[in-house]
Amino acid sequence: MPSIRTLKTFLAVTRHGSFSAAGKEIGLTAAAVGLQIRALEADLNQTLFDRSGRAVVLNTAGRRLIEPVNELVARYEALPALQDGEQLSGTVVMGTLVSALMGAFADGLWALMGRHPGLEVKLFAGLSADFALRVDRGELDAAVITQPPDRLPSNLVWTALYSEPLVLIVPRRPHFPLPADPQEILTRCPFLRFDRQAWTGHLVNQALEQCGATVREGMELNSVEAIVALVRQGFGVSIVPQLANVQWSRDRSLRIVPMPGVAVQRHVGLLERRQHSRKRFTDAIKAYFLTDARPARSR
C-alpha cells in the first residue's frame, strides 16, 4: 500500500508538472520523486502520467486519483486535531489572487493562522479561471477568486467574502496631458486595460459601458499590481478594483478620480467543492468575513 509520503509526492507532481519542481517543494531529488511515482504506479497497476522529456502530464487515470488522494492526505493530517478540540491543523492548499493577498483576504488568513498555530496554508497565486479548474479537479482545497461570470458546475460552490468598487486611477505626475473631467481622461489618455479575457477584465468592460467612454488603448495586462505600478510611473490611466485595506487616498504617486454613474464592483469570494475534507478551514474563513472583518471592510 502506498505511504502518505508517496501520496504527498504524487500531489506535488500534479501541482508542478515536473519531478524536479516537485522535489524542490518536498525536499527530494528529481530521481527520488521519479522512483516514488513509479512505485505508486506499480502499487496501483496503472500509469498515472504521460512523460515527455522533463515534463510529466496527468493522464485520465491520474486526474481521477487527485481528489481521493487529497482526501486521504487531508484526513491523515487532520488526525492531530482530534486531540486539540477546536484547533485547526494540517496543511491546506489554496489558490488566491495576488490582489487579494494585498487586501482584505490577507487579514483574514493571518488572523486564522494566529489562532491555530498547527495550521499550515500553502498558497498559489494566479487567475480566477485557472483556479476554478484546479479546485474542480481536486488539485486545490479552495481558492479566493472573483465571482464567476458563468454558472459553476454543480459540485462547486462560491461564497462571497467582500466587495471592491471599480475606480479610475490616474498618475500624479503623468507623461501626458491629464484633463480634469473623467470622461475626457478615459477618451484622451493612454488606457492600461486589465486582460479582457479575465473575469476582472469583464468588470472593467462593464464600467466602461456604464460611463459610455471609448478609451485610447495602451497596454493590456493581467495583473492589478502591474497596472497600478505603471500608473504610478505616469504611463497611463486605468480602471481597477479599489483593493480593500489599501490606502490609495494617501498615495503620493496616484489618485482616484470619481466616475459619475459607474457602480460596478468586484466581488471576491471563496470557491470550494461542496464536499471536501477541509470544510472546517473554509468555514472558519467564511466566518471571519461575516464577523471579524466587518470593521476592516468599512475603513
Answer yes or no: is 35 within a domain.
yes
Q: Global pTM?
A: 0.70
Higher pLDDT, 130 or 104: 130
Residue 276 covered by a domain: no
What pLDDT band is residue 137 in, cutting at 50, 70 and 90? confident
Per-residue pLDDT tens over the stretch 203-227: 999 999 999 989 999 899 989 999 9
Of 115 and 103, the structure prediction assigns the larger pLDDT to: 115
Do the domain assignments include residue 73? no
Q: Among 65, 87, 105, where does a domain finish?
A: 65
Residue 7 lies in a domain: yes
Q: Is residue 183 part of a domain?
A: yes
Output the pLDDT for position 254.
94
User: Could you report the per-residue pLDDT of 56-93, keeping only the tens digit for each?
Assistant: 888 888 888 888 887 787 767 665 554 445 677 788 89
Lowest-confidence region among 101-110, 125-134, 175-184, 255-264: 101-110
Boundary-marking domain end, from 65, 81, 100: 65
Q: Residue type for 242, please? A: Q
Number of structural domains in the chain: 2
**Domain range enclosing 204:** 163-265
Query: Residue 292's pLDDT is what?
Result: 59
CATH for 7: 1.10.10.10
pLDDT of residue 66: 86
* Domain-terminating residue out of 65, 82, 103: 65
pLDDT tens per residue, range 255-288:
999 998 899 999 999 999 988 878 888 998 998 8
Structure confidence at residue 295 (pLDDT): 41
Q: What pLDDT score does 205 carry?
A: 95
Residue 207 lies in a domain: yes
pLDDT value of residue 259: 92
Q: Assess if residue 143 is contained within a domain.
A: no
- Which percentage of the chain shows pLDDT scores above 90? 38
Instruction: Place 298 in a pLDDT band, splitting at 50, 70 and 90.
Output: very low
CATH number at residue 210: 3.40.190.10
Higher-scoring residue by pLDDT: 297, 169: 169
Q: What is the pLDDT of residue 207?
A: 95
Residue 30 has pLDDT above 50, yes or no: yes
